[in-house]
Amino acid sequence: MPSNLTQPSFKFTLENSPDSIKESILNHLKYSLARDTHTATLHDWWWSTCLAIQDRVMERFISTMGKQTASGARRVYYLSLEYLMGRLIKNNLTSLGILPNAIEALKDLGLNPEDVLSEEVDMGLGNGGLGRLAACFMDSLATLDYPAVGYGIYYEYGLFEQQIKDGQQHECPDNWLKFGNPWVITRKEHAVTVNLYGRAEERVDQDGKKRYFWVDTAKLTGVPHDIPIVGYGTETVNFLRLWESRAHAEFDFDIFNRGGYIDAVQEKMRGETVTKVLYPNDVTETGKELRLVQQYFFVACSIHDIIRRFKKTPSWQWKNFSKHATLQLNDTHPSVAVAELMRVLVDEESLSWDEAWGICTEVFNYTNHTLLPEALEKWPLPLFQKVLPRHLLIIYEINSRFLQKVAQKWPGDLEKMRNLSIIEEGAPQYVRMAHLAVIASRYVNGVAALHTDLLKRFLFADFNALYPKKIQNKTNGITPRRWLKACNPNLSALVDETIGPEWTTNLDKLVGLEKHASDKSFQERFAKIKRQNKEVLSELILEKCGVSVDPDSLFDVQIKRLHEYKRQHLNLLNIIAAYQELLDNPGMDIVPRVFIFSAKAAPGYYMAKKIIHAINAVGEVINRDHRIKGKLKVVFIPNYSVSLAEKIVPAAEVSEQISTAGKEASGTGNMKLSLNGALTIGTLDGANVEIMEAVGRENFFLFGMTVEEVNALWARGYNPYDFYNSNHAIKRALDSLSGGYWTSGDYQSLQPLANNLLQGGDPFMVLADFNAYRETQRKIDAAYRDQTKWQKMAILNTARMGKFSSDRTIQEYADDIWGIKPLK
Ligand code: 26W
């Protein structure tokens, strides 16, 4: 745990008083932006403020790098294709411990601090859970003083901007770098040349040894951009190194001289397209060539960079490489790194295969984030052959040596060989990246206890039998700096006042709130803060959705990517049933409720987009139906993002975590919402299981089938019509969807959703869990009426979320997988 929990002690030159921050801002406005205070725009003030903060960050960054290099300590290298960072300005001010001073400085300059802080565009270089987890992990690694580097891609365009027109999602490019980025340090001097395509040539070298040469390749240049990661309450500043692709030759004059001007320019442009845009799919892999090129590009740059740094260490020797570095594969997306390190060690460094493999199996570790078959990456062999011919040969070699081990354990069992092989037979054959990652990694981990158990029993059952100690659990976590301290300052202040500030870096301390859970005045203050946050969100909803909501009603929130397994459509069916019931008895006394949705669908995901359309269409009708006197409101807030989540989470009272059991690996939104005093309605899925364990069954609204019950029903043969025909509420709700009720008679548009739940087989068993869900929603209605009880439950949720800090998660990775120590 970081040494000083109060104000970090700095022996840096730059002062942090409001006046010195003010002075820094004014200096940058003048000398960095050539602006005077009269003509300066809000963007100019924001940029100058960022530069003033960056000055203070750089001092620590330099000292941290000095310390880490001098210590020769092992570093963890986190390889991820996604980092969903959000905005950095408030986070950096909070972690430097100078937010109050900076706010005072901005006020002194006659500015509204909130406006300056929200001038920053989100760094949206990720799709959802996996990308945000990487961001939370980077914050905890720095705060816990662990030497770490996050490697990734510097996409020019992040996750698309979502616009809702006529209730439907439209995607717009996220040109986040349009005005540049004040936080980035470009390190041209560390640019890397990357090879692609070409062919692998076998030759026998002078001492008769068979060697491979990768020839006739296309070349790209990788330019690194560094983003500082500021630790909280400590002096450590680690960094993200994100690679951008450039054409290798500025301008291929040969082509030009041959009069191929356009070709020359096209060649240049081709180079730049590789890191142009983030793939917006967060579950279904596309198998697109550019995606594989992106994966190999950043992996090749990162492996080169790691080895360059290693070779700078005094008297370096390959056998000590694993003492210098440990690599974490954030899902299979960077797993080609295994073949790349083997290629470099064998082809370029002339190590023997066994030496090289020995190193690989010491340094690699792999985290699996999903069980969904469609999300498991497998590359058609011809495509892999085309893009990475040498790596394919290496994978063949890895596979044949591995299958020998399989044959030893299960002699003559071809089925086992077929199941475990990296190469999936068939036409075409496929390269199964998860198999490569498991075989090469020292440790494999799932992201929640239930998920890891399912990995061991199903997806990787044979691997688990072969390597009984390899698969372990690391339940996800979230950083309390962004997800409580910064996004809910009023609640943080109340907690500081009640139990002291230590919780910010030691979240288990929150348990100290338990004894205040039934205290009337504490309850009132806790509830008042939630009410204030609901008012702020109500204004945002009016501005973004044009819907006025009553902050006195119950705020029920489902915020995450749109996916059928997350069952936003189960939430919607219940809303329709509640509305239809209300129409039957307008006088019915229900707790007024606002159902808040926010979610992006992968552009090519038809059913997900249908669900978005349905939510908006239903909301449209319900929100203007005066017969129900505003008792129900449905809002879909467009363009879900990290910074939008920071506004919704503090205002939430009910957290919807309703995925089909066995489908959500962990979830992390569930942790953020509970930490901020929302009560969860959820299934026994992912980390919900551990959240319920922590907060207590009595403080959690559990419903629905368990994994076993889901599998049993599936095995018995699940027929959604059984539920449709036996449950009037379901029938009526579904018929309204297929009958055009919500779309002024055009029954075409939402019928596909109804069909999906009936003749489509309802793959995520929405109808099977509907009744239990409906009944549990009634329990929530009843519970909310007793605010003394509700506030107690809410306070106990906050108090018992200590386990779900990403500091705890990272500590476990460091102790059980990486074997790294904090560099105090
Ligand atoms: C190949 C396309 C693709 C892209 C991203 C497939 C799969 C992914 C990610 C693994 C999806 C993802 O974000 N998974 C989420 O990871 C979170 C962090 O561990 C978990 O909390 C969520 O349960 C899981 O859905």
Mean pLDDT confidence for 32-36: 97
Q: Which long-range contacts (CB under 8 A, 24 or more apart) does 520-529 make?
A: 520/788, 522/498, 522/795, 523/787, 523/788, 523/791, 523/792, 523/795, 525/494, 526/491, 526/494, 526/677, 526/791, 526/794, 526/795, 527/787, 527/791, 529/488, 529/490, 529/491, 529/494
Can you tell me the distance from the alpha carbon of 230 to that of 675, in angstroms, rounded to the nearest whole number?
23
pLDDT at 428 over 80: yes
pLDDT at 7 over 60: no
Q: What is the predicted pLDDT for the residue at 261?
A: 61
| Token pair in block for residue 518 | 């039934």
Mean pLDDT confidence for 460-469: 98
- What torsion, rounded to 10 degrees, do the Cα atoms 800, 801, 802, 805 define? 180
pLDDT tier, 209 (very low <50, low <70, confident <90, very high otherwise): confident
Q: What is the predicted pLDDT for the residue at 257?
A: 67
pLDDT at 602 over 60: yes
Give the mean pLDDT of the chain.
95
Q: What is the predicted pLDDT for the residue at 8?
A: 46
Q: What is the predicted pLDDT for the residue at 522?
A: 98
Residue 731 CA, chain-centre distance (Å), reads 37
Mark whether 22 is an active-site residue: no
Q: What is the predicted pLDDT for the residue at 6?
A: 46
pLDDT tier, 1 (very low <50, low <70, confident <90, very high otherwise): very low
pLDDT at 4 over 80: no
H helical segments located in 277-377? 289-310, 321-324, 337-343, 353-363
Mean pLDDT confidence for 711-722: 98
Q: What is the predicted pLDDT for the residue at 3?
A: 44
Q: What is the predicted pLDDT for the residue at 161?
A: 98
Pairing relationship of beta strands 192-196 and 218-230 according to DSSP bridges: antiparallel
Q: What percent of the chain has pLDDT over 90?
A: 92
Residue 647: what residue type? K
pLDDT at 93 over 50: yes
Q: What is the predicted pLDDT for the residue at 251?
A: 58
Residue with tokens 């510097």: 154
Mean pLDDT confidence for 635-652: 98
Tell me which of 79, 333, 369 to substitute to probe ligand 1's pocket, judged by most ligand atoms within 8 Å of the beta carbon: 369
| Contact criterion met (CB below 8 Å) for 129 and 686 | no
Q: What is the predicted pLDDT for the residue at 10?
A: 53
Mean pLDDT confidence for 523-534: 98
Q: What is the predicted pLDDT for the residue at 84?
A: 98
The predicted-structure confidence for 262-294, as pLDDT tens digits, reads as follows 666 666 666 888 999 999 988 776 688 999 999
Beta bridge partners of residue 656, listed in sequence order: 681
Helix (H) or strand (E) holding 402: helix 389-409
Can you tell me the distance from the alpha carbon of 560 to that of 568, in angstroms, rounded to the nearest whole number?
9
Diameter of the chain measured on Cα atoms? 92
- pTM (two decimals): 0.97
Q: Is 662 in the pocket of ligand 1 (CB under 6 A)?
A: no
Q: What is the predicted pLDDT for the residue at 730?
A: 98
pLDDT at 525 over 80: yes
Q: What is the predicted pLDDT for the residue at 823?
A: 95
Q: What is the predicted pLDDT for the residue at 281?
A: 86
Instruction: Using the Cα atoms of residue 536, residue 539, residue 541 and residue 544 in order, give the sign of their dihedral.
Output: negative
Q: What is the predicted pLDDT for the residue at 210?
A: 86
Nearest to 720 by CA among 766, 687, 664, 686: 766
Q: Which residues are CB-contacts of 555 (< 8 A; sequence separation ≥ 6)?
A: 534, 537, 593, 594, 596, 651, 652, 653, 654
Mark whether 672 is an active-site residue: yes
Mean pLDDT confidence for 436-460: 98
Mark whether 405 is an active-site residue: no
Tell me which of 283, 431, 806 to substitute to probe ligand 1's pocket, judged by most ligand atoms within 8 Å of the beta carbon: 283
| 129 CA from centroid of ligand 1 (Å) | 6
Q: What percent of the chain has pLDDT over 70?
A: 96
Mark whether 485 is an active-site residue: no
Q: Is 375 in the pocket of ligand 1 (CB under 6 A)?
A: yes
| 370 CA from centroid of ligand 1 (Å) | 6
| Contact criterion met (CB below 8 Å) for 390 and 195 | no
Can you tell me the distance from the alpha carbon of 525 to that of 509, in angstroms, rounded to the nearest whole number?
20
Residue 197: what residue type? Y
**CB environment 422-436: b (16+ within 10 A), e (fewer):** bbbeeeebbbbbbbb
Q: What is the predicted pLDDT for the residue at 207?
A: 82
pLDDT at 5 over 60: no
SS3 at position 87:
coil
pLDDT at 687 over 70: yes
SS3 at position 151:
strand
Domains and CATH numbers, the chain: 1-7+17-71+87-121 (no CATH), 72-86+122-475+811-818 (3.40.50.2000), 480-804 (3.40.50.2000)
| Token pair in block for residue 165 | 């027109």
Q: Is 452 in the pocket of ligand 1 (CB under 6 A)?
A: no
Q: What is the predicted pLDDT for the residue at 745?
A: 81
The predicted-structure confidence for 228-255, as pLDDT tens digits, reads as follows 999 999 999 999 999 999 988 755 566 6
Q: Is 80 in the pocket of ligand 1 (CB under 6 A)?
A: no
Nearest C-alpha to atom 21 of ligand 1 is from which residue? 667
